[in-house]
Chain A
Amino acid sequence: MSMLEATKLRKSYGNKFNRQEVLKGIDIRVEKGEFISIMGASGSGKTTLLNVLSSIDQASQGTIWIDGHEMTAMKEKKLAEFRKQHLGFIFQDYNLLDTLTVKENILLPLTIAKTGKKEATERFNVIADELGIYEIRDKYPNEISGGQKQRTSAARAFIHEPSMIFADEPTGALDSKSASDLLNKLTALNQKRSATIMMVTHDPTAASFGSRVVFIKDGQMYTQLNKGDQSRQIFFQDIMKTQALLSGVQHEH
């Protein structure tokens, strides 16, 4: 069963006279439990794709179905409702509220869904433990490191057990150690909770943690790679090669 299905997705900015087309008819399908990465050069439209798929931005044309709901037919209020229950987000710049503590930040999605206080605390304990941020629960975001912030952000994305998690360059601001730490945790959560994750990245290492990589070029799907049974190392090599082909720049690897 597919978790997300988008057909003939188009998105353009500007007015009638000065139109800039960013997405030029993309079809994409994500199965339940998949960890899919989207790669592409700057300006290829990958972040726009993510925004449109996650309902933060409106598509100009095309349809999007998530978990059996047609997103493109929903009104703004309904979309917000849907986001609150079915979607989780992780962003490059963490997007934590600096006036709230780590725990308060993580519990935020549960308060929208009006989950009971006791259950909320239990869920928090489990996820904070898994991501190793239980000890810093009463600290404020500006008192913790970037890696900890991103794990907090991840915990927030997972805590309400959404159908689908969107991650926009989650490792973009992290050093490689924190980045692989986070990705390992994400993979673990992906397997353990069979959560569907879609991640936009320009980092081949990050992309190699997923099970499939989709390449975008000039607003269109360029190609895609499946990890299958190969090891992460080999998958990484494949990604590098494709990326080189895509950009026309040869990497020394």
Chain B
Amino acid sequence: MSINQLIVRNLKKNLKNYYLYVFALVFSAALYFAFVTLQYDPSMDEVEGSIKGAAGIRAASVLLIGIVTIFLLYANVIFIKRRSKEIGLLQLIGMTRRQIFKILSLENLILYFGSLVIGLLLGFAASKLVIMILFKITGVDAIASLSFSPQALLQTLIVFGLIYVFILLMNGLFIKRQNILALFRVMSTMEERGKRISVIEIIIGLLGIGLIVTGYFVSSKLFDGDFTSMTALFGAMIFILASVIIGTYLFYKGSVRFLFHLIRKQKNGYLTVNDVLSLSSIMFRMRSNALMLTVITTVSALAIGLLSLSYISYYSAERLAQQIVPDDFSLLNEKNAIALKQEFDQQNIAYSEKRIEVVMANVNVSKIMENDLEGDTFFSDNMLMPVISDQDTEGINVSPEDTIFSGYNDAVSKMMPFGDSGPVELLGKKDKIKQNYIGLERDYLLPLQFTSGGLPVAIVDETVFNRLKQDADPALQNEFSEYIGIQLADKTELDKANALFQEQGFDDTLQFSQLEAVNGQKQQMGLIMFIVGFLGLTFLVTSGCILYFKQMDESEQERGSYTILRKLGYTRGDLLRGIQIKQLFSFGIPLAVGLSHSYFAVKSGWFFFGSELWAPMLIVMLLYTALYSIFGVLSVLYCKKVIKDAL
């Protein structure tokens, strides 16, 4: 048999084993090519015009290369270790290392560039889809056109060519470093099995869980006002990261084993087949894969966290827009308001108008502040707030002694929470008006210009308002003292009305359309979500593949055990049930830890991004879990095959 025949046969065999590798390679090549095509696509200018679209996509493609490179190199290590016996055998029968290197390189070349070509074709086809998705999420109105970019092709080829060279270098090093004997031994030294648990491991196990819990605890306290200075906050964040990541590593290194050991000890030797296949096997394997699992867990936590946050922003775009623009159209200028209303009247668009007179005043809220930030960062005894009369609001009526606050930004309210009630003082130029603060409403009544980026509006009785108006400090007042809000009667006319608003061509920054604000938010958050989403998807596919390869290896190594168990009289169904439990743990533990990490990460700071936590976060998590489970199912199917062949 000539070397060429050998290569062809190996390829045939490998293709069947590594179809998932080929898939992952095709997928990443396709995605990368699609991204780079996007970057050079003229229709991207549409997105680029408003935000830095191309820059974001370029940064994403660099990250994509990083993920793909690490994945391909890692997968290559798994494969070459699997084949070490074969390499040893070839050396034993007198092949030189150079020849073996040649065989491996040629095999890789065919497999790799074959997948790459398919990937490029798919990527070219998919780039239209990708750009359509991008336009859809960001709400850009443009027709996605398909244009082939030679630049993109060249860039993709160069990048993947470089990765190939890296793989060759690694293979070369691997072959060079090993002698025949060592090659035969690789399999057996790769993982340790059948060792008893030591005291140090128990300590490591407890320490791991302890560190993770500590990290979670500190993260829940992060924005509760316990950390008052910027340095302390930053220090706390570093601490959380370090403690959770190290904790995760120790968790895989010791805790899993320790926990399983406890369960096993309880059983006192009486293990069922499910225990045998899941508990005892995972106990030893998690430990030797601790580093890989830590990386996978941390990055998936990162991916889920970022996805959740960007989706939270996207999801809350409307509410955020309300905060900036409380009504369909918010105007601060009488002249413009009249012009717009005229236009609406002409086009028969029904609307209602409300006017709110605003006085800016310093308010002493130090008595109702729940936690007192250190005095020098913030003045709670004279906070600049807009004050309005209850006459100008709908459905709110306060007595002359009372004050209600309305529309407090979520993020700011986390940092400076108010109590339920208490005394406040409205500070005029000369007088102090003592008032009773009786509660906080959710509605945003005034646009951002008045609320200095998130402070609530104080609603007082008409008489109090008039008193304050007489006594107002002119230095604190804005150039405008009245807010004009226009609400459409029929929301379906919003698009038409918005077009009219645009036509007016108001040149200053005193009027806003809520729809515009929503679209702006969505465009910005949509692009971020798009990029994070595709990166997350790539990472999910690659990490899923790595776990799958690992499971593939494990089930090959455990084939002997399957044989024994089947000889002892377990049916294929019995074994399969055990395997399913094992895969549930193998895939489930990293996933569960990743989800829990990202949950605590998102929970500690989500309010900076939007107003809705649960729905968007759960959607992201469920989606991630569902896609991730595909790989678990695939490895169960693979094990099924191994079990079938075991007897």
CB–CB A82/B269 < 8 A: no
A111, B270: Cβ atoms closer than 8 Å: yes
CA distance A111 to B569 in the complex (A): 11
Contacting residue for B571 out of A76, A89, A109, A110, CB 8 A? A76
* B200: interface (CB < 8 Å): no
**170-206 of chain B: CB within 8 A of chain A:** 193-196
Q: Are B567 and A89 in contact (CB under 8 A)?
A: yes
Give the residues from 274 to 318 in chain B that come closer than 8 angstroms, CB to CB, to chain A. Answer: 276, 280-281, 283-284
- Shortest beta-carbon distance from A98 to chain B in Å: 4
Quick check: is B570 within 8 A (CB to CB) of the other chain?
Answer: yes
Task: Give the residues in chain A near B195, CB-CB below 8 Å.
Answer: 140
At the interface, yes or no: A101 with Cβ under 8 Å from chain B? yes
Stretch of A116-124, A182-190, A227-235 with 4 or more beta carbons under 8 angstroms from chain B:
A116-124
B271 and A111 within 8 A (CB): yes
Chain A residue contacts of B268, Cβ below 8 A: 117, 121
B271 in contact with A99 (CB, 8 Å): no
In the complex, chain A residues whose CB is within 8 Å of the CB of B571: 76-77, 80-81
A84 contacts B569, CB within 8 Å? yes
Pair A112/B569 contact, Cβ less than 8 Å:
yes
- Taking A107-B270, A120-B270 as contacts, is the C-beta distance between A84 and B570 under 8 angstroms? yes
Q: Which residues of A contact B271 (CB under 8 A)?
A: 100, 104, 107-108, 111
Chain A facing B: main interface SS: helix
**Separation in Å of the B554 CB from the closest CB of chain A?**
11
A137 to B281, CA, bound (A): 19
Residues in B with CB closer than 8 Å to A81 are 569, 571
A21 to B75, CA, bound (A): 44
**Which size bracket describes the interface of B in this complex?**
20 to 34
Interchain CB contact under 8 A, A89 and B568: yes
Q: Which of A76, A100, A117, A142 is most buried by chain B, counting CB atoms within 10 A of its CB?
A: A100
Which chain A residues border B273 with CB–CB below 8 Å?
111-112
- The answer, yes or no, to whether B242 is at the interface (CB within 8 Å) is no
Per DSSP, chain B at the interface is helix
Q: Does A143 contact B (CB under 8 A)?
A: yes
Q: How many angstroms from the CA of A103 to the CA of B574 in the assembled complex?
A: 21
Is A141 an interface residue, CB under 8 A from the partner? yes
User: What's the nearest-Cβ distance from chain A to residue B327, in Å?
Assistant: 68
Cβ of A96: which chain B residues have Cβ within 8 Å of it? 564
Contact of B569 among A95, A109, A141, A143 (CB under 8 A): A109
> B272 near A: Cβ within 8 Å?
yes
Residues of chain B within 8 A (CB-CB) of A156 are 568
Known: A100-B271, A100-B276. A142 touches B194 (CB 8 A): yes
Complex-state Cα separation, A117 to B270, whole angstroms? 7
Residue from B272, B281, B569, B571 with most neighbouring chain A CB atoms (10 Å)? B569
Q: Which of A84, A104, A139 contacts B568 (CB 8 A)?
A: A84
Complex Cα–Cα for A163 and B196 (A)? 35
On chain B, the residues within 8 Å of A56 by CB distance are 567, 647
* B474 shortest CB reach to chain A, Å: 82
B565 → chain A, closest Cβ, in Å?
A: 8
Q: Does B561 contact A (CB under 8 A)?
A: yes
Residue pair A124, B269 in contact (C-beta under 8 Å): yes
Q: Which of B269, B283, B560, B568 contacts A83 (CB 8 A)?
A: B568
- A/B pair count, beta carbons within 8 Å: 94
Known A-B contacts A83-B568, A97-B564, A109-B568; the reply to A141 vs B270 at CB < 8 A is no
B276 engages A95 (CB within 8 Å) = no
Which residues in window 538-552 of B have CB below 8 A to A? none
Q: Are B561 and A104 in contact (CB under 8 A)?
A: no
A85 in contact (CB, < 8 A): yes
Mark out the residues of chain B between 318 and 340 whose CB falls within 8 Å of any chain A CB in the assembled complex: none
Q: Is B432 part of the binding interface, using a Cβ–Cβ cutoff of 8 Å?
A: no
B566, CB-defined interface residue at 8 Å: yes
Question: For B566, what are the chain A residues with a Cβ–Cβ distance below 8 Å?
Answer: 80
Question: Which residues A100-152 have CB closer than 8 A to chain B?
Answer: 100-101, 103-104, 106-112, 117, 120-121, 124, 137-143
Do A80 and B564 touch (CB < 8 A)?
no
Contact B570 A111 (CB under 8 A): no
In angstroms, Cα B196 to Cα A134, docked, is 17
Q: Are B569 and A80 in contact (CB under 8 A)?
A: yes
Say if the beta carbon of A87 comes within 8 Å of chain B: yes
Question: Is the beta-carbon distance between A112 and B570 smaller than 8 angstroms?
Answer: yes
- Residue in B193, B269, B280, B565 whose CB lies within 8 Å of A107: B269
Q: Tell me the nearest residue of chain B to A115, going by C-beta.
A: B270
| Nearest opposing residue in chain B for A143, CB measure | B194
CB distance from B462 to the nearest CB of A (A): 80
The reply to whether B570 and A141 form a contact with Cβ atoms under 8 Å apart is: no
What CA separation (Å) do A77 and B196 show in the bound complex? 36
User: 1/0 contact trace for B571-591 toward A, CB 8 Å?
Assistant: 111100000000000000000
A99 and B280 in contact, given A120-B270, A140-B196 (Cβ under 8 angstroms): yes
In the complex where A84-B569, A89-B567, A141-B194 touch, is A99 in contact with B269 (Cβ < 8 A)?
A: no
Bound CA span A120–B272, Å: 13
When the two chains form the complex, which single residue of B269, B563, B570, B574 contacts A104, counting CB atoms closer than 8 Å? B269
Closest CB in chain A relative to B418 CB, distance in Å: 59
**For the complex of A and B, 4 pairs with smallest distance between CB atoms:** A84-B569, A140-B194, A83-B569, A103-B269
Identify the B interface with A (CB < 8 A).
193-196, 268-273, 276, 280-281, 283-284, 560-561, 563-574, 647
Could you list 8 further interchain pairs (A-B, Cβ under 8 angstroms) beyond the known A97-B280, A117-B270, A121-B268?
A: A80-B574, A81-B569, A87-B569, A91-B567, A100-B271, A108-B271, A112-B273, A112-B574
List, sorted by A's number, 14 A–B pairs whose CB atoms are closer than 8 Å. Answer: A76-B572, A77-B573, A81-B569, A82-B569, A95-B563, A95-B564, A97-B276, A99-B193, A99-B280, A99-B561, A104-B276, A107-B269, A111-B273, A121-B269
On A, residues with C-beta under 8 Å from B are: 56, 76-77, 80-85, 87, 89, 91, 95-101, 103-104, 106-112, 117, 120-121, 124, 137-143, 156
